[in-house]
Chains A and B, each alone.
Chain A
Amino acid sequence: MGSHLWNRKHLLGMADLSREEIQSILDAAASLREVNRREIKKVPTLRGKTVINLFFENSTRTRTSFELAGKRMSADVINMSASSSSVKKGETLIDTMATLQAMNPDLVVIRHPESGAQEFLARHLDAAIVNAGDGRHEHPTQALLDLLTMHDHLPLLERESFEGLVVAVCGDSLHSRVARSIALGLRTMGGEVRFVGPPGLMPPRAEEAFGARVYHSMEEGLEGAHVVMALRLQLERMSVGFIPSVREYFAFWGLTRARLARAAPGAFVMHPGPINRGVEISSEVADDRERSVILEQVANGLAVRMAVLYRLCGMGGGR
């Protein structure tokens, strides 16, 4: 029964995952959460497996989450960041890969500023590859943790499945791999995605590419939404001129209590973090214990990454 839910060697994106595959990760994650509440927070599942975290972009949160996930599953975890490795000394991606290959890891978690870098590496490495974010392209573990968090709250919204769940993704979808991945995941699960934000920060052809309807007003976009997800304004990814000023951005696109009132009763608020208070979300909304599930997302991130490591290593870890 259910013996072929997951047959993939790599997790590169949400685009080609089936509903069953997504569900198999969510189920394992839901079970693994229990490990994180124990006194002894460790299971022996991945004993003897080696996981390398290879980060070409800074990210303390995601890296820490993957590191802890690996350790709680009993894998040996090594962190490598571009700033501390030979990448800074001019090594090419392929040379870095060959060096890693020689260490024979079972799984490599990669974050890279270029879209598609992981796919390229997956073709040249024996190890299983997990995409921990590539440029503007995808961030599948973030989408999976978001789906798990939404799944937890379905009963509160008096819903049995993702079918018909309306999720408003607010802000800079153009630069956001989080927006792309969650839109693709929700489309597969049967949810309805809206991209809400200024025209200049919306990806072209959002409807065909991600199944997302575009709204250029917060009031319209939030109307009746079950989940409101605020995206971080990624100033570091922007060349000049995308927005006039941070204050003006908040005035038009900030998630405030008044705007949230347009959403469905009991709607809850998500944010991939780190949050910019007073930029894309007001402190009042971010700290609202009734509505904001931002810290649950962090806890679920750990469980989801444990589940991903488990499913991929269960496939043979690249050998």
Chain B
Amino acid sequence: MSATSTREEILFSAIQTRAVIQQMADRILTGLVRPENLVVVGIRRGGAVVAGLLRERLNAALGTAIPMGFLDITFYRDDLRTIAPNPVVGATDLAMSIDGRRILLVDDVLFTGRTIRAALNALFDYGRPESVQLAVLVDRGGRQLPIQPDYAGGLFDAGARETIKLVERDKEWSVVRRRPEE
């Protein structure tokens, strides 16, 4: 295959990512009523990273350890046959009961909304939370379902052929946009 080059643009540098996470945490804290009822749930794989970073900031501000869990939505996807015949499968880890809890569902990039739909279905197989809010690091538009974030770190309109990814470099996280060059 001929090498199709990819152009890469940094949307959030490592420093910016940290600042954006802090801003999101501040906004979440402003509206928070009963912090003891909060559970942070990250969607694997990128969402788990953002959830960890966000929870760190929330813990620091509240002086507590907020319970955290992870969802793997592989078995809830609606594209079993069309897009991903062989996804790498992670593990769901929701040790705590989520009945009556306020869930902060976290993902890295919000696009079509299908992942969130699958995550909500998965979540409700574990119990009946009091409420679910959605926090994403980047909202890239292009929704195919009526799903909107309660907290978004940044808004970037991205074309269908572009990808927006959370990437790790030297143990720091940044967000890049990649587009194939014509």
Chain A: residues with CB nearer than 8 A to chain B? 1-7, 24, 27-28, 30-32, 34-35, 38-40, 42-46, 73, 310-311, 313-317
Contact = CB atoms under 8 A, between A and B. Distances in A.
Chain A contact residues, majority secondary structure: loop
A43 B81 contact: no
B125 A313 contact: no
Chain B contact residues, majority secondary structure: loop
A31 B126 contact: no
Interface of B: 72, 74-77, 80-81, 84-93, 121-122, 125-126
Nearest to A45: B75
18 contacts: A2-B87, A5-B88, A27-B89, A30-B89, A31-B92, A34-B91, A34-B92, A34-B93, A40-B125, A43-B122, A44-B75, A44-B76, A45-B80, A46-B80, A310-B75, A311-B86, A315-B85, A316-B81
B125 A43 contact: yes
B90 A45 contact: no
A2 B125 contact: no
A270 to B, nearest CB: 24
Contact of A314 (B72, B85, B88): B85
Nearest to A317: B81
B80 A43 contact: no
Given A38-B125, A45-B80, A27 B75 contact: no
Given A3-B85, A40-B126, A46-B80, 19 more contacts: A1-B88, A2-B87, A2-B88, A6-B85, A7-B86, A27-B88, A31-B75, A31-B89, A31-B90, A34-B93, A35-B75, A40-B125, A43-B125, A44-B76, A73-B75, A313-B80, A313-B81, A314-B80, A314-B84
Contacts of B80: 45-46, 313-314
Contact of A31 (B74, B85, B121): B74
Contacts of B85: 3, 6, 314-316
Contacts of B122: 43
Contacts of A1: 88
Contact of B126 (A3, A38, A313): A38
Q: Choose among B74, B85, B122 the residue with the greatest number of A CB atoms under 10 Å from its CB.
A: B85
A71 to B, nearest CB: 14
A61 to B, nearest CB: 25
B120 to A, nearest CB: 12
A35 B89 CA distance: 13
Contacts of B121: 44
A272 to B, nearest CB: 26
A38 B93 CA distance: 11
Contacts of A316: 81, 85
B84 A28 contact: no
Given A3-B86, A313-B80, A314-B85, A30 B91 contact: yes
